[in-house]
Amino acid sequence: MVAKINRGASIYGTLLYNQEKVGEGTARIIAGNRMFTDSTGNPVNSMQQTLLSFEPYLAANRNTRKPVLHISLNPAEDDRLNDEQYARLARNYMEKMNYGNQPYIVYIHEDINRRHIHIVSVAIDERGRKISDSYEHRRSMVACRELETAFGLKKITDVQKETDRLFLQKADYGKGNVKRQVANILINASDYRFRTFGEYSALLSCFNVEAKLVRGEGIDGKPFNGVVYSATDDNGKAVGNPVKSSIFGKNYEYEGLNRQMEKHTKDFKDGKYTPLIRNAVAGSMKTTHDRTVFTSLLRGKGVDAVFRTNDTGRLYGATFIDHHRKEVYNGSALGKEFSANAFHRLFYESPTAQPNITAADTAYSQSNRMSSSMPHDKETALEQVFGLFDFQPAYDGRDYEEEALLRQMKRRKKKKKLTVNG
């Protein structure tokens, strides 16, 4: 069994996600603890009564920024449990995680082949104090192994692989329920560390989701910034209509993403995390000059490489996603040897030359970390028209290396034009 714990600020949005499925007939309420209601009944009344159950706890909250718990418990596809067993599974798990006395409601989801349960609760007690989440991941792993034995469930030997299989699937427009697919991907993407919108959008592109920043003018004439999401095909082409970020919750809107990026940038500068994939990328660069082979080699190590090229085929962006550590890095953040220019030369300009990477380069430099987080030049940001909105990175939306290259290409094009006209 795999457990997934998400924390958020909006109890309403979390309950609405589950209640909408109840209304569609693809989910049911099967249990509750310290709730005013634990049966489906009238969907509107159930929603109101459920909110009332959590209200005293949230009102007493003492500065816990993300007090809402949204937990999913996912047995293997061939495990067979009835509603009563699922209810006991939820109760036992919550007790093992020290949430047994909390109010919580349990939904069983049946919209996919794998039946699983969602538990909505709060991580603050009646006095508004945060319940400790120390070693939460480790405690959850132990609880899952114990419950597998107690309920006769299939034992998961490779938890990371099973987690990726369950939660990190590409969006498939042909399967329908695109909003739900995108929502699931966004929830999982929020577990990753990214410092720029370029890194965030590169991460989502691995799962056939496109994120674009929007800038426009509201009805009141005031400027606004926003984000829209679209499903894409395997070639990165958007399919269907874009969806406003407000549909998915505040964490995935402009301000929410900005807060995440600011935090991750500070953590990065403070040395709380550093890229451990540098040697893997360097080794693949020395092994091959073929872009397809290069990306395949890295993928075998749990790393996705996302490259961006312009209309003329010039490679101007490189981003690396470490799925094991859930971290995203623009190439320049790894060092100048991993910039977009370096990969363009490696793949397209000098097939016989080896990249200049030595053993000494494996030590990550503070200067590279600082330069990768510098403010980007907005003057050269590219804009695309989509309906009434202009899309552009409104805050640190591009890799610094990309911006420098774009400016250089612009100057060359302008110089060439002057030469021709002269």
> Does residue 154 or residue 415 have the better pLDDT?
154
Place of tokens 């993403």: 257
Same domain, 283 and 160: no
Q: Give all strands (DSSP E) within 132-245, no chain letters.
A: 209-217, 223-232, 238-244
Task: Say if 173 falls within a structural domain.
Answer: no
Last residue of a domain, one of 167, 183, 214: 167
Same domain, 152 and 282: no
Quickly count: other Cβ atoms within 10 Å of residue 250's Cβ. 16
pLDDT tens per residue, range 121-138? 999 999 999 999 999 989
pLDDT band of residue 160 (cuts 50, 70, 90) is low
What percentage of the chain has pLDDT greater than the value 90?
47
Same domain, 20 and 162: yes
pLDDT at res. 37: 60
Strand pairing class (68-74; 27-33): unpaired
Q: How many domains does the chain have?
A: 2
Same domain, 222 and 361: yes
Task: Say if 172 falls within a structural domain.
Answer: no
pLDDT at res. 362: 32
Task: Say if 226 falls within a structural domain.
Answer: yes
Q: Tell me phi and psi for residue 336, to 5 degrees.
A: -60, -25
Last residue of a domain, one of 167, 182, 217: 167
Same domain, 228 and 117: no
Task: Say if 183 falls within a structural domain.
Answer: no
Expressed as residue numbers, the domain containing 289 is 193-422
Task: Give the span between the Cα atoms of 39 and 28, in whole angstroms.
Answer: 8
> Does residue 159 or residue 364 have the better pLDDT?
159
Task: Say if 129 falls within a structural domain.
Answer: yes
Lowest average pLDDT, out of 111-120, 136-145, 243-252, goes to 111-120
Tell whether the model's pLDDT for residue 368 goes beyond 90. no
Task: Give the span between the Cα atoms of 246 and 179, in whole angstroms.
Answer: 12
> Does residue 31 or residue 368 have the better pLDDT?
31
Same domain, 319 and 212: yes
Region 294-298: mean pLDDT is: 90
Please give the single-letter amino acid code of residue 355: P
Task: Give the span between the Cα atoms of 137 and 118, in whole angstroms.
Answer: 17
Tell whether the model's pLDDT for residue 164 goes beyond 80. no
pLDDT at res. 180: 83
Same domain, 202 and 325: yes
Q: Tell me phi and psi for residue 227, to 5 degrees.
A: -135, 140
Same domain, 223 and 151: no
Same domain, 348 and 385: yes
Lowest average pLDDT, out of 7-21, 140-154, 255-269, goes to 7-21
CATH number where 134 lies: 3.30.930.30
What percentage of the chain has pLDDT greater than the value 70?
77
Three-state DSSP state, 249: coil
Task: Say if 206 falls within a structural domain.
Answer: yes
Quickly count: other Cβ atoms within 10 Å of residue 208's Cβ. 24
Region 198-202: mean pLDDT is: 95
Please give the single-letter amino acid code of residue 210: E
Same domain, 161 and 276: no
Task: Say if 152 falls within a structural domain.
Answer: yes
Tell whether the model's pLDDT for residue 351 goes beyond 70. no
pLDDT tens per residue, range 339-349? 999 999 999 98
Tell whether the model's pLDDT for residue 67 goes beyond 50. yes
Same domain, 144 and 204: no
Same domain, 264 and 138: no
Burial of 64 (0-12, 13-18, 19+ CB in 10 A): middle
Tell whether the model's pLDDT for residue 381 goes beyond 70. no
Region 156-168: mean pLDDT is: 63
Place of tokens 């980007």: 376
Task: Say if 163 falls within a structural domain.
Answer: yes
